[in-house]
Amino acid sequence: MPIGGTLRRLLHLLLLVEVMVVASVLSMGIAFGAGRGTATAGQTVSSARWGSVVVLQSQTATSGALVIDWTNVKKNPYQFIDLVNTSTVTLSGQTVSISTTRNGSGNQPLPTIALALCRAGTWDQTTGACSGTVVDLGSTTTGSIIITEPVPVNGRLAVRASTSAGVGSPFTTTFSSAVSRTQAGPAVVVNG
């Protein structure tokens, strides 16, 4: 066998041994490194819940709808209500549903119910004045009004409901509030 062929085989053998040694050393380093230290992190995770209720001004938040009987609208066309955030997150909005029915007979049209917000203030029930800024939220006879006013956790929006009805049979309005996932604030992660 010529010397060049033997030398070539010897070089290939040395190269193979070198590759095996490097691979062994690297795998031991990885194995040793894996057992040297550990990292741990704790997080408290809870799910958010969101909701809102409609109550008479300054009343305790309860579940269910608010029913208002408008019996003397000519003398008092206003009702003062609060939209209360019962969520664990800030709300960016909510949808108020209004359903109105006549209490007596007759075929008079249903009155329009208008909602106005007293931003950064409260309504004076005697004078009907707002101590903040009045913001028109919308009106409907029977339907929904989407409110885009932010409300912090346990916060309230002071709202005045008014009616267009001046005469006619008394009527009843049912108010309820709903919050969609897009109207609820982002979830918060608390590190432990």
**Could you tell me the end-to-end alpha-carbon distance of the chain, in angstroms, rounded to an integer?**
73
pLDDT in tens, 1-11: 566 667 667 66
In this structure, are residues 171 and 103 in contact, taking their beta carbons and an 8 Å threshold? yes
**What pLDDT is recorded for position 22?**
61
Q: pLDDT of 131-171, one tens digit each? A: 999 999 999 999 999 999 999 999 999 999 998 766 667 88
3-state secondary structure of 126: coil
Exposure letters 109-135 (e unless 16+ CB within 10 A, then b): ebbebbbbbbeeebbeeeeeebeeeee
At residue 9, the pLDDT reads 72
Beta carbons within 10 angstroms of residue 55's beta carbon: 18
Is residue 20 very low, low, confident or very high in pLDDT (cuts 50, 70, 90)? low
- Whether residue 67 is predicted with pLDDT greater than 90 in this model: the reply is yes
Q: Are 149 and 179 in contact (CB under 8 A)?
A: no
**Dmax (CA) of the chain:** 122
pLDDT at 191: 47
Q: Which pLDDT score is estimated for 3? A: 63
pLDDT mean across residues, the chain: 81
